[in-house]
Amino acid sequence: MPPVMPPIFLPPTMPYIMERTQATNLPEFEDITLPEIASLSDLEDSYHWRENVQTTLDQFGLLPVISDLKQPEIFHPDFKNWRQWSTIVSEWLLCSIEPELYLSLQRYVPNFTFADATFQGIISMSSNYDLHRTGHLLELWGMHRGDYHTLVAYVRAWREQVIICRTFKTGLSYYSAAKVMIAQLQEEAPSDCILAHRLVAYCDEDNEAMNRNQFNTVVEAFINGGMPF
Boundaries of every domain in the chain: 43-127, 130-224
DSSP H stretches of helix in 76-229: 79-95, 99-105, 115-127, 129-141, 151-167, 174-185, 190-205, 212-224
| CA–CA separation, 199 and 162 (whole Å) | 18
Tens digits of pLDDT across the chain (229 residues): 556 566 665 555 544 456 899 999 999 999 999 999 999 887 777 889 999 999 999 999 999 999 999 999 999 999 999 999 999 999 999 999 988 788 778 776 777 789 999 999 888 887 777 777 888 889 899 999 999 999 999 999 999 999 888 888 888 889 889 999 999 998 888 888 888 888 788 776 666 678 888 899 889 888 887 544 3
